[in-house]
Amino acid sequence: MENLYPLLFGLVGTGVMSLVLYAIGQAEGPTAAMVRGVGSSITTPVGGSLVPGGAVHIVAGIVFAYLYMGLGHAWAPLAPSLLVLLGLVVGLARGIAVSAVLGMLAFDQDPLGRMSLAGPGVGAIHVLGTLLYGLSLSLLYGFIPADRMLMF
């Protein structure tokens, strides 16, 4: 049962990140179109990138939740502040990895050209989303008695 918690926590963290990206996209701000573009799970239908983008987004959330657990066990015992830091680092690593994979999947759609038009606000929004993903992992592992080594 202990090995199913990262699956659940990865899905919850991915859901939190997706909700943040979706909410910002619904606000119709200047970066809303790019938030829904390559690099998020709420992609525009240009080239049909919704299905592969969503799959990569969800699978990465699960994989990086297992990575968080593995790193936490390898470096245990950690203070709560270090567990939160570990979550933030895992979240950033997830963002970098997913962006690279989605960029490769959407290579024919010129993702770099679209991203260069979006501006720095889009990058900040995605960094915020990945940090919230990692923070969600830290809080879930820290407060739910799923794994004694990762609790606060």
pLDDT, one tens digit for every residue, the chain (152 residues) = 678 999 999 999 999 998 888 787 777 654 444 334 544 444 455 555 566 667 778 899 999 999 999 999 998 888 999 999 999 999 999 988 877 776 676 666 665 666 666 667 777 888 898 999 999 999 999 999 988 889 98
Q: Taking a C-beta distance cutoff of 8 angstroms, is the pair 150, 72 a contact?
A: yes
- Number of domain units in the chain: 1
Structural domain containing residue 109: 2-150
Residue 36: other Cβ atoms inside 10 A: 21
Token code pair at residue 39: 């690099």
CB-CB contact of 132 with 84 (8 Å): no
Q: Of 36, 61, 42, give the one whose Cα is nearest residue 134.
A: 61
**128: its two tokens:** 């915020």
DSSP character string of 57-117: HHHHHHHHHHHHHHHHHHT-S--HHHHHHHHHHHHHHHHHHHHHHHHHHTGGG-HHHHHHH
